Amino acid sequence: MDRKQTFSLWYVLAALVGLILVQEFGATRHTQTLTYSEFKRALAAGKLDDVLIADGVATGNLRAEGLDEILPKEKIEALKRAGGEHGFATVLIEDPNLVAQLDAAKVSYGSVRESKWLGALLSWVAPALVFFGIWWVLMKRMGGGMGHAGMLEIGKSKAKVYMQTETGVTFKDVAGIDEAREELMEVVEFLKNPDRYKRLGGKIPKGVLIVGAPGTGKTLLAKAVAGEAGVPFLSLSGSEFVEMFVGVGAARVRDLFEQAAAKAPCIVFIDELDALGKARGVGLSGGHEEHEQTLNQLLVEMDGFDTNRGVIIMAATNRPEILDPALLRPGRFDRHVAIDRPDLNGRRQILEVHVKHVTLAPNVDLAALAARTPGFAGADLANLVNEATLRAAKRDKQAVEMTDFEEALDRIVAGLEKKNRVMNPMERKFVAFHEAGHAVVAELRRNTDRVSKVSIIPRGIAALGYTQQSPTEDRYLMRRSELLDRIDVLLGGRVAEMLVFDDVSTGAENDLQRATDMAHHMVTHYGMSETLGLATFDSRPTPLFLSGPTMPEPRSFSERTAEQIDAEVRRILEESRERVTQTLMTHRATLDALAALLLEKEVVDRVMLDELMAAAATAPGQSRAAAVPLQST
């Protein structure tokens, strides 16, 4: 149960207990019911102080002394336990002498006409008001998950308003994405000096859409804009418009733009826009789905918004391909700022930002770390620095050393080291020759990345060893010869197992999957098959910034073409296997030496590998990759 709900329920229980206690023990007066005969005896004995007659019932007070001869013992004890005044009540019967007896005993008496509707009001309306108040407090407390004001304000926007000093982020904290930063610095200028841009008749852009892979700094850029602009910054996620009640999303969009108009000039930032702006489609329910109503309201609000008032809409997403085209047209999101993964210089700049408050040892080379982290986004690099710092602190070091960064990189890329996983000697030999096969082929191919480390220490869930390669530069295009060399490296482990043991293991599963995918892309995406020509055969939309499996779609080619594709993929893999077999047979001594070194050291770094390859190059019968001609496909 939610903590706030539990807290509210305790309040309700306490209120109920309090009502019961007040009802039972709050009054000091205790009323004792008397029979009419007991009432007449008390009257005759002079034990009545006063009498009030109303609707056939007589009430009043009894004198405390001398009641033993008039009332039963149990009623006297009840009066004593109650303390205070001894009240009584009795039902009257037809008695014409009662008034004369009251006068004779000198008892003060009277009569009152009781209002029945007032009693009903007090007995029904008052408790109802009490319980309504309790319900109101309860709903206010439980409404924390639906907004600050609970159920009655569910249609209000959940936007959080930040001012300049609250984000703590400026453009100085953004590195590695200079072009995107300059584009958004211009947005800040729009807000600070609007007349400069409007004097020639120009209009400030309505919206800025930031697109990029996860972790590249989209939200960080938005926070930097908030910190630099010095204007109110309304921030919320696209999913916060979605609620279980119909119409709430559209109401929240309206309320958001009303807030923005009231706080102009300001910036409205919608994170994860794809949750709100997914492309509309014709379904069973037509255009009346809650999601489409919310999106339609957003489109209308952005159309009718006057940018000269100084309100700019910013949004971020990593799935721009699924956004509705109406959102992306000029007049709504006028500017699109794409953030790619940082290049070599960008990664070095990002590392410099994240190590500002970290004590580094003199041997830390950020340029070398940037070179060994291709494909890392800003969030990945921040995690790398943090992991290295934690490892150094765990070992009570005075500064973070290069070895800490290297171990943190291995931890992130390959997984947690499994020191307790014990392999039998035959498995270790299989793993050693498998990884040696990858490394030797990578060293003997012209178009592959250099090997930085080879290890047979188990890591992660299923990795029994790994060969780590580090590119010398960032690449944006892959030639056909480079793809073929990469396939050769992937098949090096399986071929080495077959060559040495005349048997194969299950350790090459991931290598074979990656090699098959690469060969399949060469045929179906890149037009690198002479048999099938320049046509492409895969119409599935490819995510721009996300990786992972895509939804299968019906193929748009014939069965015969499918057979040709399969034949081409098999041919590429088979020719690669033959090339790798020839390479490893020619350099068998190098393969054996590297496997033996791995069995001894478990980890072979770049320096040890250079020494081994240099010794192998001078040995008789060994040659470089030029001796292994690359077969054409």
Known catalytic membership, residue 290: no
As to burial, measured by CB atoms within 10 angstroms (0-12 exposed, 13-18 middle, 19+ buried), residue 312 is: buried
As to burial, measured by CB atoms within 10 angstroms (0-12 exposed, 13-18 middle, 19+ buried), residue 141 is: middle
Q: DSSP 3-state assignment of 570?
A: helix
Is there a contact between 309 and 265 (Cβ–Cβ < 8 Å)? yes
Sign of CA dihedral 356, 378, 457, 584: negative
Which residues neighbour 331 within 8 Å (Cβ) at sequence distance 6 or greater? 206, 302, 303
Say which amino acid occupies 311. Answer: V
Closest by CA position to 562, among listed 528, 520, 527, 526: 520
Find tokens 């006409």 and name the residue: 113
**Angle formed at CA 508 by CA 505 and CA 513, multiple of 5 degrees:** 140
CA 347/CA 369 separation, integer angstroms: 9
Instruction: Please report the beta strands in 383-462, taking only residues with DSSP state E, as ranges in sequence order.
Output: 450-455
Pairing of strands 30-33, 450-455: unpaired
**Catalytic residue of the set 183, 243, 435, 443:** 435
Torsion of the alpha carbons at 314, 319, 320 and 326, rounded to the nearest 10: -80
Closest by CA position to 147, among listed 138, 160, 136, 162: 160
Distances (CA, A) of 573 to 20, 515, 534: 84, 8, 20
Which residues neighbour 632 within 8 Å (Cβ) at sequence distance 6 or greater? none
Say which amino acid occupies 27. Answer: A
CA 300/CA 615 separation, integer angstroms: 72
User: How many DSSP H helices and E strands does the chain contain?
Assistant: 24, 14
CA 517/CA 522 separation, integer angstroms: 9
Pairing of strands 450-455, 603-605: antiparallel
Is there a contact between 271 and 238 (Cβ–Cβ < 8 Å)? yes
Tokens standing for residue 150: 């609970």
Known catalytic residues are 435
